Amino acid sequence: MQVPAPPRLPQLRARGGTAWHASLLAAIADAFESRRLLVLIPFAMIAGLIAYADLPTEPNHGVLLALVLVCTVLLAVSPARPRLRRVSALALAAAIGAGLLPLHGMLWGSPMLAFPAYGTYEAVIDEVLSEFDGGRRIVVSQIHPLGDARPVDVRRARIIVPAEPEVAPGDRIRADLRLARVPAPILPGAFDSQFHAYFAGIGAYGNVTGNFALVAPGEGLDLVRSVDGLRRGIAEKIDGTLEGPPAAIARAMLVGDQSGISDEIRDVMAASGLAHIYSISGLHLSIVAGGVFFVVRALMAAFAGLAGYLPAKKIAALAGIAAALGYLLLAGGVANTPAFRSTLMLVLIFGAVLAGRRALTMRNVAFAALVILLVDPADVFRASFQLSFAAVVVLIGVYELPRLPREGQPSLVRRGWDVVLTTAWTSLVAGLATLLFAAYHFQQTAPLGVVANVLVLPVLMAVIMPFGVFSVLAMPFGLEQPFLVAMGWGIARMIEIAVLVTGWSAGLETNPLLTPAALIVGLAALAWFAFLASPWRFAGPLLALPVIVLLGFDQRPDVLVADTTQAVAVREGQAMGLIAGRTGSFATDVWSEHFGSDIAPGLNELRCDSLGCIHEGAEFSIALVRAHDAFAEDCARSNLVVTRLRAPHICRELTQVVDIGDLDRDGVHWLRWNATVSRFDVRQAIDDPERPWRIAIP
């Protein structure tokens, strides 16, 4: 986007309080002169996306279109007014961002199933998401009822099917299915399955209850089907050579299937800061595509005559692009969003090489972000996008800073030491860049993540990834076993390092609880950092720190009420225990992990009978009502009534109530006692029940 350069700033005297002010204004002016406004465009679009998603009700789409048109007109009529043109450009980007999700919803969204459906159905397989012992997770479309089955008005559904018979994309299947509604968030602000399922066109979850059969295999040449067969063949060869955690991680790193990784290994890898290793992303694609680039360029340089009349660097760049695209296909294609983002960035980098331009620039990051936002705007709300976007922006920003020139030819020892320092520095920068986003989404930090990455990266670059690539290339000839064994050895060493660093980290872990406001502040600081090209860029993150400390930390609840299970957890002292439900359920496990403490199966101050339970704590009392006969007494004596029944209207006049209607409409309830007003402050997991991705409950 061409933006006229502003007039030069007048020189200010560098004394008193004006020196820093002049320096800051000069940095901003230089950013505009360097046409870095493009860098802010994806941030403005993200702001528009957030504004749309946070609305309590669906806006009028005509109003959104009118807003886009008004901003377009302002941009068109302001060529002679640079400030208005810049503001108009950012406003237009924000308006387009606000309109992307409704546009994607109209094109690919699905009606959401409100009530369970049972019966025999036929459907066509769109994707095979993952395999596990005894079954597969697949996505189906063209769902047609047979016999007495109720029709379901959903575009696609995600279901679990048995391992036999084998199926692939394009196959038509028949089965007795139980289709259920997509679950709501398990906590306010947690991952929203309904939101992401809606924009993926998935309106129901389900499983096969019997009579699973392949009706007709897919016909014709189908790239998705062919790639799925290739990925399955690679996974079978891995399982035929490796076993246990090395086999599961090898499948994750080569074909993007993480379903076999155990919870124990996930916890260890996360605690050591190495969880990103088994998710195909920029690191893996950079090693593969970058390795191909350098190997091709070196081979062409070895033949001096050939390199003399062929553009070796550009041919190597094309080979790197081909390698990245091939790896993306093995990783699951565009459906593997982290791999797609990384591939897009690599294509832009190699494209810059082909065009003879600088490859690692903030403008390339902006272009990649714009493409991702247009293709999959809902990706903005996933942790993987936020982590990778923040890491790339900060790494490129640090790379842009001026560096001291090196004198002389470094020795081999110095080069090795430089590699170690560069690895440690890169890991530290990426870790700091993603710290806020990781803490928000996962409520944990990896205090020694830099150490773990420094120890693992040599094994990853020298053993795991190269031998993984060699094994795939050798599979058509049946020669993959020694390469897979070497890869498995490297993965085993990586797990040992993860366990070691996790042990070192004992006692250093934290369990931060952040509010969405902290992410907004972090996004603003990231935009400032990306826009400026001088050391002033660090002012944004530094100023964001005290704001996050003051406003970004969340409180812990005193009561949690699940929507689809019986779980009701209450804080007693510093711990939480159940007055209903059971430990080990999905809700209680997620709550325990989120808040960093186990939830006990019961409470000390709890009395129960056939009508319900009463908990009388030091600050408040709670009644769990199981029968209508208990309402008269419990509504008058308790600060809160929780029931899976319909509470009478008079009960709400006497006390606070969470009943089945509240849970169906608003999902999981988070409550914290407010002693000032002697009532609970309440948050619901669903605070926008009228949006198109929500399930309408009459």
Instruction: Give the best-scoring range by mean pLDDT among 17-21, 220-224, 354-358, 512-516.
Output: 512-516
Q: Can you name the residues that pair with 99 across neighbouring β-strands?
A: none
Bridging pattern class, strands 656-658 and 640-643: parallel
Considering only CA atoms, which of 367, 381, 397 is closest in space to residue 337? Answer: 381
The answer, yes or no, to whether residue 605 has pLDDT greater than 60, is yes
Q: Which residue has the higher pLDDT, 264 or 30?
A: 264
Q: What is the pLDDT of residue 575?
A: 87
Cα–Cα distance measured from residue 449 to residue 509, given in angstroms and rounded to the nearest whole number: 11
Q: Tokens 């714009």 correspond to what residue?
A: 370
Helix axes 362-375, 37-53, angle to 10 degrees: 30
Share above pLDDT 90 across residues of the chain, in percent, rounded to a whole number: 49
* pLDDT tens, position by position, 412-437: 677 667 767 777 777 788 888 888 99
Query: In angstroms, how far is CA 39 from the centroid of its own chain?
Result: 22
- With a CB cutoff of 8 Å and minimum separation 6, the contacts of 641 are 622, 623, 625, 631, 634, 635, 647, 651, 655, 656, 657, 658, 659
pLDDT of 306 reads 55
CA atoms within 13 A on the CB side of 494: 31
Range 427-451 burial, b when 16+ CB lie within 10 A, else e: bebbbebbbbbbbbbbbbbbbbbbb
Is the pLDDT at 11 greater than 70, yes or no?
A: no
Whether the pLDDT of residue 68 is over 80: the answer is yes
Angle 394-399-405 from CA coordinates, rounded to 5°: 155
Burial (Cβ within 10 Å: 0-12, 13-18, ≥19) of residue 273: buried
CA 662 to CA 642: how far, in whole Å? 10
Q: Tell me: the pLDDT tens digits for 474-493?
A: 999 999 999 999 999 999 99
pLDDT tens by residue, 490-532: 999 999 999 999 999 887 777 789 999 999 999 999 999 999 9
Contact 121, 143 (CB under 8 A): yes
CB atoms under 10 Å from CB of 396, counted, come to 17
Q: What is the pLDDT of residues 259-308, one digit of tens each?
A: 888 889 998 998 888 888 888 777 777 888 888 888 888 777 777 555 55
Name residue, tokens 């450009």.
89
Q: Are 454 and 424 in contact (CB under 8 A)?
A: yes
CA separation for the pair 132, 642 (Å, rounded): 38
Among 8-17, 222-231, 606-615, the least confident range:
8-17
At 122, the pLDDT band (50, 70, 90 cuts) reads very high
pLDDT digits (tens, 9 = 90+) for 558-579: 999 999 888 999 998 888 999 9
Q: Which residues of 657-674 are buried (b: 16+ CB within 10 A; e: fewer)?
A: bbbeebbbebbbbbbebe
Q: Is the pLDDT of residue 10 over 60?
A: no
Residue 2 has pLDDT above 50, yes or no: no
Whether residue 165 has a cis bond before it, omega within 30° of 0: yes
Q: Which residues pair with 577 in a beta bridge?
A: 570, 600
- Number of other CB atoms surrounding residue 125 within 10 Å: 25
Give the range among 117-121, 284-288, 386-390, 682-686 with minimum mean pLDDT.
Answer: 284-288
Query: pLDDT by residue (tens digit) across 88-105?
Result: 999 999 999 999 999 999
Mean pLDDT of the chain: 87
Q: Are 66 and 109 in contact (CB under 8 A)?
A: no
- pLDDT of 694 over the 90 cut: yes
d(CA 442, CA 23) in angstroms, rounded, equals: 39
The predicted-structure confidence for 203-243, as pLDDT tens digits, reads as follows 999 999 999 999 998 876 567 778 888 888 999 999 999 99
